[in-house]
Amino acid sequence: MSAHKMIIAIDGYSSCGKSTLAKELAARLGYNYIDSGAMYRAITLYFLRNAIDLGDHNEVLDALSQISLSFVFNEHRNASDIYLNDENAEPFIRDMIVSEKVSEVAAIREVRSFAVAQQKRMGRKKSIVMDGRDIGTAVFPDAELKLFMTADPEVRVIRRFKELYATNPNITLEEVRDNLQLRDHIDSTREESPLRRADDAVILDNSNLSREEQLKLVLEMVKDRTKAFSVK
């Protein structure tokens, strides 16, 4: 759509479709998509597997020094999988046990510093779409386009339930609802880079939008930004 290289930052609550939009937007623009949430989930997976004491500063730092994260394109999914120390962690990071811990792990200052440093490195060449909780505020405050996604809480619960039910038919709506409420609370109240809307972010409430409608809407935003750049 444009020769201008942009960074598009997408923040918002869990199960608002951030990743879905980010992937589709990156594909249409020919940009790289970086799933920051997958990075925190992979770190959480490592911590769980190795019984890391989240309250032990030195133990957390030592664990982080043992972690290597990378993204490898998976042609079967037409998306990138996250690798944890050369292991494809994608099949494991969406498990409920990881979901229940990821916000707590992501709230740790050392963990965020570790992840943000890698995210900033990935964005040096621009032409990326990245989604998460603090992309437009902490990681890329100068991003050319920032979105803050939200949706009705019950819509989010149902979306998340359908996603999890495919692999875990024993999951209940109440479990999903409790998990989302807990994650929202932790994400919004943590001391380190809390979830909040950047002052210049566009709010996108997709409670009643289809995937196609929201993609079209954001592509128009990108087009408008491109025109602004050409004028300058």
| Structure confidence by residue, pLDDT tens digits, 3-58 | 578 999 999 998 999 999 999 999 999 898 999 999 999 999 999 999 999 999 99
Task: Name the band, by pLDDT with cuts 50, 70 and 90, for residue 228.
Answer: low
Count of C-beta atoms within a 10 Å radius of residue 175: 17
**Contact between residue 226 and residue 5 where contact means Cβ atoms under 8 Å apart:** no
The answer to whether the Cα torsion of 28, 31, 32, 34 is positive or negative is negative
16 is in an annotated binding site: yes
Structure confidence at residue 86 (pLDDT)? 94
Q: Is 80 annotated as a binding residue?
A: no
Q: Is 126 annotated as a binding residue?
A: no
Q: Is 40 annotated as a binding residue?
A: no
pLDDT at 48: 98
Cα of 77 vs its chain's centroid, Å:
18
Comparing C-alpha atoms, which of 142, 136, 200 is closest to residue 5? 142
Instruction: Tell me which residue of 94, 80, 48 sits closest to 67, measured CA to CA.
Output: 48
DSSP 171: -
pLDDT tens-digit map of 80-126: 899 999 999 999 999 989 999 999 999 999 999 999 999 998 888 88
pTM for the model stands at 0.83
Encoded amino acid at 92, one letter: F
* Segment holding 60, helix H or strand E: helix 57-65
83 is in an annotated binding site: no
The span from the CA of 146 to the CA of 202, in Å, is 6
Among candidate residues 156, 165, 155, the one with its CA nearest the CA of residue 183: 156
The secondary structure element, H or E, covering residue 102 is helix 96-106
Identity of the residue numbered 142 = D
Class of CATH domain 7-225: alpha beta
99 annotated ligand-binding residue = no
Q: Does the annotation flag 17 for ligand binding?
A: yes
Distance CA 230, CA 112 (A): 35
